[in-house]
Amino acid sequence: MERSYGTVPFVSIHVYAPVLTRMTRYAVEHGQLRTLAVDQAGRDW
């Protein structure tokens, strides 16, 4: 998730090739990455 810390809105554009079929979201906890979710194309977005 992208966050804007200023007062001006922003747009973030991401382009992937080959086509993105899964996207894994992570959080940093106690200095380590932890998987939050794995989203699947066609099901979650």
Would you kindly state where each structural domain of the chain is located, as residue ranges?
21-45
Phi-psi region of 18 (alpha: psi -120 to 50; beta: other; left: phi over 0): beta
Token couple for 4: 């804007």
pLDDT of residue 30: 94
pLDDT of residue 10: 78
Contacts of 8 (CB under 8 A, 6+ apart): none
pTM for the model:
0.56
CA–CA separation, 42 vs 14, rounded Å?
18
pLDDT of residue 7: 84
pLDDT of residue 44: 93
Tell me which residue of 38, 9, 18, 14 sits closest to 26, measured CA to CA: 38
pLDDT by position in tens, the chain (length 45): 556 677 888 788 888 899 889 999 999 999 999 999 999 999 998
